[in-house]
Every structure is written in structure tokens, then in C-alpha cells.
Structure 1
Amino acid sequence: MFKSTKKTLNCRGRLVDLTTPAVMGILNATPDSFFAGSRIGLDETVATAETMLTEGATFLDIGGYSTRPGAADISPAEEADRVLPVIEAILDSFPEALISVDTFRASVARQAVETGAAMINDIGGGTLDTAMFETVAQLGVPYVLMHMRGTPQTMQSLATYQNIVTEVIDEMATPLARLRALGAKDIILDPGFGFAKTPAQNFSLLSQLESFRQFDEPLLVGLSRKTTIWKTLNITAEEALNGTTVLNTVALMKGASILRVHDVREAVEAVKLTQNLTFF
């Protein structure tokens, strides 16, 4: 089992220690999330945020752009209109909440941070907006660099690899070096499970997740209720909590520092239990 490297994130002046892995709760500000349980209104979102924080979430990840297969493209203005009121409402009720904004657009990221977000979670890894890396460096907030090919609309047609692990590592090395050169602080790596990857490729990535520790940056893993789980088990996304917990546990044992999940309590329990394991 790989213990998390002692690493702190500076989130608006608050230091978050990832020696013990953290849990990030997913809050979708979209009408068409792949998981029906996360399609909720503003009041219910604030109530869900309270539940997640009570259950032990360190971060709340708010996204206004659906990346499910076949999802429609929306404008940056519409994305901001979905996300910013949610950030404001949550911080009005819970001022100490650490909010991550799930966006690949620099303009939305900037507005979200100005509204109070403490982290940027970019599924495009800087490939979908050339201004993102400079914006991240200027804002000085933690940044999740995720691997993806293409766009949310084209990514699944680009899931061709000779060696999934080495190619994803290679394709993340260059943007990581650029971020570092720009002076970006607190970079978190996400291999991008389900983004331009087949279920079999996702399992290969998870099996060798420890390979990403060569970058000496925290790892975020987002497998919650994804197709890889429910198609493998021949069930639905709504039935995929147990499978999610199984794969989250594997991820923790292979060095994940942050779990991005729909179900916080179960993820926090997985963290607590795996922290008691020792391998010689």
C-alpha cells in the first residue's frame, strides 16, 4: 500500500494536508448529468453540500458543463450562469467550505475563483482553452490537471493506445512541465478515468496507478458510478455504489490522494479503513 506523500494544498490561505487522502464531493449544476441522483436544484444542492461536509468531504466540486457522452455544448456564459449562483449559495451557508470548480474554460475558472472557489478542476488539462494555464498561474489556486484527448463530444473516438499507462504519462508530462514553468502551485494529477478511455483501459490505468507517483504530485481519482463499473457488472449507475467503493479502495491502496465521488460517507469510510492497513 502506498501512503500519500506529505503534501499540502494552499486553498485560499488554508493549508490542506493530504497525508490522509481527502474526499471531494460532486455537485452537478447541470440538467443532464449521467447520474440522475446528482441532477438537483439550488436549494437541494445547498442541502446536499451540507450533508457532504457533515459526512467528511474536504472539497465540493461544482460543474456546470456535462461531459457525459452525447451531451450538448453550452456557451461559457451559460456555464457561468449555472455555476456561480451555486458557489455563492454554498459559501453563504458554509463560508469555510472549499469549493472546486469543474471547468475547462479559463473565463469560467476566473469568475468562479473571484466568487470564492478555491480550486480549479480542468478535464481538458489545458487543451481546450489556451488561456487556462496562464490563468491558473495568475490566480495561484490548486489546479487539477486531467488527461483527456479531444473534446467531451469526440473523446471516445480517440481511445486508441499501444500502451495506455505509458502514453497517458507521456501526454501529461509536457503540460505539467509548462505549468511548473509558469509558476503554478499545488498541481494535482488526474489520469482521467473514462475520458478517451475504454473500460478495459481504465482497469489497466487503475492497476498501474502507482506509476503516476513518479511526478511527485498528488493524484485525484474519479471513478464514481462510471460506465466502467456498471457496464462491467451489468447494472445501472444508480446501482454502482458498491462497485465504486471497491475501486476507490484499490485507488487508495495505490496512492490516490483525493477521491472524487457522488457518495461521500462511503468514500470517507474507505479512507479510514485503508489508513489502518500496513504492508511490509
Structure 2
Amino acid sequence: MQNHKTKIMGVLNANEDSFFKNSRFDNSKASFLIEKMIEDGANIIDIGAVSSKPGSIAVDEDIELLRIKDIVNIIYQNKYYEKVDFSIDSYTPKVIDYVLNKGFKIINDITGLQNDEVCKIAASYNVKVVIMHMQNNPANMQDNPIYKDILSEINEYFSIQIEKAKSFGINDIVLDVGIGFGKNLEHNLTLLKKLNYFSHFGYELLIGASRKSMINMIIPTSIEDRLPGTLAIHLESIKNGASIIRCHDVKEHFQAIKVFEAINSIK
């Protein structure tokens, strides 16, 4: 079992093409959804304005900023950042700089700090950074992903990106193996089963498999009906070393994790 307290990262998407429609919002509903997530037990709320589902195309950073600006201003005006930590699901410098200036404390970077400008901004604000692994990019990542040894290849990737982060003065790091990002079903299952392999780095591990297609590959299920499979994956992930769970269904995860922790508190 891991030593870090388990934290729930709730997902809100300010874009029309997020694969799970219930995680999308418009600004009129933003306050309600944020307050509900906080009430339901979220420790972190992760907000993104660009879809990273397989086959998705990158969006211009000015459009991304336009999509997210209003919700970020609502968060700042209502001081929600005093109640819960906010994370930005982005890899564009302009967007990241804007939100960190408005109370956000975490950068969730699916490109794993590829952009030096993002590294400089992260260091200047002294924030937490999630380094995720992805083979290729969202547009082509699921076109027959291949690894000789997935554990050692991702391990090497993390080593390189951690050194890069440290060279810029970033020390508050979270690692995410990137379930579904350039991986087939066997790759995903291997990473979930052997997640503890990456605990030697000493950083928190994040898993986000909420309603992902790997569940459908195991048992054909629509996106709307994948909550049970999601909970099974996430509880197993906690058992194997994850301490941050990124999910769409905060209330259900809060209950499941509390029961899981109660069972595991018995010596």
C-alpha cells in the first residue's frame, strides 16, 4: 500500500467534444458543478478545454484560452481555490500562465513537459506538475501502439522528464502512466497490475481510467454505463500505489474509496 493520502481529482471539460458528455459544462452551470464536486468529496478539480481522446486534433491556444477564461474568472471571483485545488489540463503556455495567475495550483500536462516554456512557467509559480506518458499524440496514439518492454520504456521516459523538470527548478512532481494514451488493452492492464514498479521515483502516482474504452474492450459497454468498471480499475490502482484518482464521478468514488480504506485499515 502507498503512503500518500488518496485524493480524488474531479474532471470538468470546457469543450464540446469531450468523450463523456456528462463532464462537459457551460459557464452558467460552472459554479453549481464546482460546488457539487467539492461537496461530493473532490480534493482537486481538473479543468480542460481541449479534448485528448483518440483521434482528436489540437486546438489553437487562443481558442483554448477563450473557452476556459470565463470559468477561470468565476473560480477566482468566488475564491473556490481556497476550498479545493484546481488543476489545468493543458500544455499551452498562454493558457497555463493565465490560470496560474488566477489561483490554480497544478499543471496536468499530457505531453509530460515537452515544452520548455511550460517548464519555465511552472517553475516561476512553484506549482505541482503532472508528467504523463503518451506514445505519439492524440491524433494517432491508438494507431497500433507497440512497446518492446512497456514498463522499462515508460520508466526511462519518466527518468528523462523528471531530470528535465528538476533542471528548470520544478520539484513538486506527480507521475501518470497515461492509461489509454498510446496503449492497447494488454499495455493498460500491465501498467495497472504493475503500477508499483514506478513507486521507486518517490513521487505520487496518478491514474485516470474513468469510463475509458479499455472497459469496453473487456466487456462491451456504452460510455454512460462504465462506472462499475471504472471503480474496479481505480480501487485496484490505489492498492497498487496510486494516490491521485482522476475521475468523472466524484461522489461514487468517494464512497468506494472510503469503504476500501476501512477494509484496509484492519491489521
TM over 0.5: yes
Asked if 1:3 is matched to 2:8, the reply is: no
Q: TM-score, normalised by structure 1?
A: 0.90
Gaps in structure 1 of 5+ consecutive residues: 5-18
- CA distance in 2: counterparts of 1:189 and 1:155, whole angstroms: 19
Q: Matches of residues 27-46 of structure 1 in structure 2 within 5 Å? A: 27-46=12-31
1:101 equivalent in structure 2: 88
2:134 equivalent in structure 1: 148
- CA distance in 1: counterparts of 2:57 and 2:201, whole angstroms: 34
Asked if 1:111 is matched to 2:72, the reply is: no
- Please give the secondary structure, in 2, of the residue aligned with 1:73: coil
- Please give the secondary structure, in 2, of the residue aligned with 1:101: strand
Match of 1:200 among 150, 169, 186: 186
2:111 equivalent in structure 1: 124
- CA distance in 2: counterparts of 1:198 and 1:45, whole angstroms: 34
Q: Is the 8 A contact 1:84 1:115 kept in 2?
A: no
Gaps in structure 2 of 5+ consecutive residues: none
CA offsets 1:255-278 (integer angstroms, 9 cap, x no match): 111000000012112322222315
Q: TM-score, normalised by structure 2?
A: 0.94
The RMSD of aligned alpha carbons is 1.6
- Please give the secondary structure, in 2, of the residue aligned with 1:137: helix
Query: Which 4+ stretches in 1 moved above 6 angstroms?
Result: none
Number of residue-to-residue matches in the alignment? 264
Q: Is the 8 A contact 1:26 1:262 kept in 2?
A: yes
Greater mean deviation of Cα atoms: 82-91 or 116-125: 82-91
Identity of aligned residues (%): 31
1:86 equivalent in structure 2: 71
Structure 2: which amino acid aligns with 1:175?
Answer: Q
1:51 equivalent in structure 2: 36
2:230 equivalent in structure 1: 244
Match of 1:134 among 120, 129, 147: 120
Shift in Å, 1:200: 1.6
Structure 2: which amino acid aligns with 1:266?
Answer: E
Q: Matches of residues 215-230 of structure 1 in structure 2 within 5 Å? A: 215-230=201-216
- CA distance in 1: counterparts of 2:75 and 2:35, whole angstroms: 8
